[in-house]
């Protein structure tokens, strides 16, 4: 059977959102310089990342300066709590949504729970769903707030693209990598690092917050093998992934239209992948490009953190009452769309 899963909330608001970005900038020119021998051997023109993906640079954590994804996520979490006016002891739930993880066990969430000084009563766990994790985390937290199980939740994310990019560049320089193999790992070179956090609470206690109205999700898991990644590398069938993802977004969009009417939003905060993906979604859904801000040219694809990071950059231009749609596609494939009343 086909169709959307629809969720509505009546008493949940986004109280704050914060981000922490790495200080080290890695340009696409730098990456292509390091790949010079491979590009020459495979007869690929320079400027590939800029021309195909529209990614000019991305950020990486500066370990020498003490930066790391975990520390940055804690920093973003503390600032989000302070901005929301919520004490750590009031938090009933922490959801970590990062793709990045240094070990399989325990969860990434436990260290963040400890570093943020959350109470023993605060539930904490990881949610992994590729680049949709943050939106999924917000939806889960909203449901628990709406049900009365908790009063406040913090959803966090921290991504570190260093290891996967180093491993990928080393592999692409090998003589046994052909043109097809190179292009299958091209998307890895667009990844960037960054951290973000959001605090959610009850609307009736925080009328100043931004209401989370709900949204839809839809799955097309027949495409589960189009983008498969680990710390060693990420392999993507770019053409099939774009088509499958676009078809999924369009089908979810059309089915949601009678209930949600998202054609005239004030801002569309999309998952940041590349110029190709962004332009394709704008065209397929008939969006106003002026209302679709982009961060991928400067930050690359920061995975689940890209939506909250982009929202942080846009919030100064948002006015009370603006309608905001968070939307994205995650490997697998899944799509999610969530409406906020700013």
- Positions annotated as catalytic residues are 105, 131
Contact call for residues 314 and 272 (beta carbons, < 8 A): no
For residue 129, what are the β-bridge partners? 131
60-71 residues labelled b (16+ CB within 10 A) or e (exposed): bbeeeeebbbbe
CB atoms within 10 A of CB 309: 28
Contact call for residues 252 and 216 (beta carbons, < 8 A): yes
What string of H, E and C letters represents the secondary structure of 260-273? HCCCCCCEEEECCC
What long-range pairs does 236-239 form, CB within 8 A, spacing at least 24?
Answer: 236/184, 236/185, 236/186, 236/187, 236/188, 237/184, 238/183, 238/184, 238/186, 238/187
- Cα–Cα distance for residue pair 145/288, rounded to 1 Å: 33
Closest Cα partner for 84 from 175, 5, 15?
15
Tokens (6 digits) for 123? 């539930």
Closest Cα partner for 96 from 72, 75, 112, 78?
112
- Cα–Cα distance for residue pair 2/179, rounded to 1 Å: 37
């Amino acid at each position: 059977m086909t169709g959307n899963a629809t969720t509505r909330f009546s008493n949940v608001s986004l109280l704050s959102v914060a981000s922490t970005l790495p200080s080290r900038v890695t340009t696409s020119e730098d990456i292509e310089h390091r790949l010079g021998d491979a590009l020459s051997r495979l007869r690929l023109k320079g400027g590939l990342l800029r021309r195909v993906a529209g990614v000019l640079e991305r950020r990486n954590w500066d370990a020498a300066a003490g930066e790391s994804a975990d520390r940055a996520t804690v920093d973003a979490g503390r600032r989000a709590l302070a901005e929301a006016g919520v004490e750590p002891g009031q938090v009933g739930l922490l959801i970590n949504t990062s793709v990045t993880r240094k070990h399989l066990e325990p969860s990434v969430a436990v260290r963040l729970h400890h570093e943020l000084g959350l109470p023993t009563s605060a539930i904490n766990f990881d949610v992994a769903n590729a680049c949709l994790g943050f939106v999924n985390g917000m939806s889960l937290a909203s449901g628990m707030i709406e049900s009365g199980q908790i009063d406040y939740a913090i959803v966090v994310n921290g991504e570190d693209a260093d290891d996967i990019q180093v491993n990928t560049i080393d592999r692409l320089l090998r003589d046994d990598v052909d043109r097809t193999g190179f292009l299958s790992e091209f998307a890895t070179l667009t990844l960037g690092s960054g951290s973000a956090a959001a605090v959610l609470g009850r609307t009736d206690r925080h009328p100043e917050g931004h209401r989370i109205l709900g949204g839809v999700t839809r799955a097309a898991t027949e495409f589960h093998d189009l983008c498969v990644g680990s710390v060693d590398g990420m392999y993507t069938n770019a053409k099939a992934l774009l088509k499958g993802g676009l078809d999924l977004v369009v089908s979810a969009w059309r089915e949601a239209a009678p209930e949600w009417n998202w054609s005239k939003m004030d801002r569309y905060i999309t998952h940041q992948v590349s110029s190709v993906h962004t332009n394709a979604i704008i065209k397929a859904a008939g969006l106003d490009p002026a209302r679709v801000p982009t961060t991928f040219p400067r930050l690359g694809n920061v995975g689940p953190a890209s939506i909250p990071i982009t929202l942080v950059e846009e919030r100064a231009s948002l006015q009370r009452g603006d309608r905001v749609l968070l939307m994205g596609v995650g490997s697998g494939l899944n799509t999610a769309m969530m409406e906020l009343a700013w």
